[in-house]
């Protein structure tokens, strides 16, 4: 099979998954969500941004059925995996929204979110791309606006991104709580150690996982 044939097959698979995303009852495009978001019952509202397959959030939703979970990513063919898993397991307290991050305030009301998760975000290693990192100051301000006296959780395998993010949290008026450079060797809660697909790959390679949580000091 030629490289061109392989590319065509990959594109077809992505289109198939995107079509399936549209069919799933727990999936929404941004305009659909704005037009008719379902009720969000639950003791707590937890959001994962840049969720990818969202299998991490699906497992949290399974463990804590009294909470409500929203997985957000611009890639419908990624969210498709988590959406399918949730439906197959009968997990009803999670939804999947295909959207860019800057629309976060349209997805959830101000001061309504109890927890935000950023898991293995793209590190954008070039300095010129730093503004696109999900822990950049412009995004931290978005998170501040929707959090309700809540906490942001940040996990990554990338040490330069982690060190840079620690600086951004401090400079943007966030208070760092728990922090570790070896999550799976720490005594932090087990749910923090639920593995994403990337995380399992990294830990099998013996790579440490970096973690911190933070709260905005000026959050009201």
Task: Enumerate the active-site residues.
Answer: 122
Place of tokens 């999670």: 94
Q: Is the dihedral of CA 61, 98, 23, 196 positive or negative?
A: negative
- 42 torsion bin: left (phi>0), alpha (psi -120 to 50), beta (else): left
Distance CA 190, CA 208 (A): 16
Distance CA 59, CA 42 (A): 16
Cβ atoms within 10 A of the Cβ of 193, count?
16
Q: Is the dihedral of CA 87, 88, 93, 95 positive or negative?
A: negative
Contact assessment for residue 122 and residue 160, using Cβ atoms and an 8 Å cutoff: no
Strand partners, 155: 119, 211
List, in order, residues 6 or more apart from 121 with CB less than 8 Å away: 50, 133, 134, 135, 156, 161
- Residues 102, 132, 147, 27, Cα dihedral to 10°: 50
């Amino acid at each position: 099979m030629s490289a061109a044939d392989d590319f065509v097959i990959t594109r077809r698979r992505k289109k198939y998954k995107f079509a399936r995303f549209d069919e799933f009852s727990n999936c929404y495009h941004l305009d659909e969500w704005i037009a008719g978001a379902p009720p969000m019952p639950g003791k707590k509202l937890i959001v994962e941004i840049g969720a990818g397959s969202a299998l991490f959030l699906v497992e949290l939703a399974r463990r804590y059925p009294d909470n409500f979970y929203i997985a957000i990513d611009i890639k419908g063919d990624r969210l498709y995996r988590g959406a399918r898993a949730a439906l197959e397991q009968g997990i009803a307290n999670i939804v999947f929204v295909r959207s860019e991050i800057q629309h976060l305030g349209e997805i959830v009301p101000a001061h309504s979110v109890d927890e935000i998760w950023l898991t293995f975000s793209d590190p954008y290693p070039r300095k010129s791309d730093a503004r696109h990192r999900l822990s950049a100051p412009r995004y931290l301000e978005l998170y501040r606006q929707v959090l309700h006296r809540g906490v942001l959780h940040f996990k990554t395998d990338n040490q330069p991104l982690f060190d840079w993010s620690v600086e951004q949290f401090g400079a943007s008026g966030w208070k760092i709580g728990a922090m570790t450079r070896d999550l799976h060797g720490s005594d932090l809660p087990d749910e923090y150690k639920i593995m994403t697909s990337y995380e399992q790959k990294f830990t099998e390679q013996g790579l440490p996982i970096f973690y911190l949580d933070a709260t905005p000091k000026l959050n009201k």
